[in-house]
Amino acid sequence: MAGIDTSQLKIVLQQDYLREILAGKRKSALDLIMDAYRSGYPIPAIYMEVFQEVLYEVGRLWENNQITVADEHMGTAITQYVMSNLYQHLEIADRQRGRLVMTGVQGELHQVGANMVADVLEADGWDVQFLGTNVPVDGVIQSIRQHKADLFGISSTMLFNLPKVIELVLAVRREFGGGLRIMLGGGAFRTLPELPDELKDCVVALNLRDALERTRH
């Protein structure tokens, strides 16, 4: 992207992408992102600088009644569609960092952030199983065992799901002990003033960059 003002490019891309998804233009939203990717915009940056920021803006517009819940659903659905198209272009690193199971807690319906983290850590050399969200505790434990995970990631956006996070962490600790690393992330942890005692041995990552940083050691 030599010669291009990347901060300007980012703002234009965010504005264009927001406009297309709220107009329900799936094909042009995809074309915009694929063009950006082909001109050198790295996928993790597209995830965080475009999808994340635009979905946060969608959340603000929704909260302020400037768009409907249907608009929000459509924008999110289009973003998930575009992400799955981008996924096939992710370059997977040769190095092997370990095995990761990633999920959202029971009751949690937000799953785009967890999906992004799963994709980007896979590209960074993790062997990833992404369970989606709203998964019962027993099923999660079974997946961790079958996948022989070294790292377990939990996503929670809503603060009211914190008791479910604690329940899951305690169940996983009972089953696998302290050897399994647990990483927490999502909106709930950004607003939390202090981590509850039950979660003190978990790592918290506030965004994609943070997640990469914390899983490289």
Q: Which residues bind ligand B12 (CB under 6 A)?
A: 48, 52, 55-56, 58-60, 62-63, 72-73, 76, 107-114, 116-117, 153-155, 157-158, 183-187, 205, 207-208, 211
For residues 143 and 145, what is the distance between their CA atoms, to the nearest angstrom? Answer: 5
DSSP code, position 91 = P
Cβ atoms 77, 84 nearer than 8 A: no
Nearer to ligand B12, 46 or 153 (CB): 153
Sign, CA torsion 137/140/125/208: negative
CB of 85 to ligand B12, least distance (A): 16
From 43, 202, 217, select the one nearest 115 (Cα to Cα). Answer: 43
Nearer to ligand B12, 3 or 106 (CB): 106
CB of 124 to ligand B12, least distance (A): 12
Helices (H) and strands (E) in the chain, counts: 10, 5
CB of 58 to ligand B12, least distance (A): 5
CB of 163 to ligand B12, least distance (A): 13
Nearer to ligand B12, 36 or 156 (CB): 156
Give the H/E segment covering residue 179. Answer: none
Nearer to ligand B12, 3 or 124 (CB): 124
Nearer to ligand B12, 5 or 60 (CB): 60
CB of 15 to ligand B12, least distance (A): 17
CB of 174 to ligand B12, least distance (A): 20
From 155, 143, 85, select the one nearest 114 (Cα to Cα). Answer: 155
Nearer to ligand B12, 4 or 170 (CB): 170
3-state class of 182 per DSSP? strand
DSSP string across 44-72? HHIIIIIIIHHHHHHHHHHHTTSS-HHHH
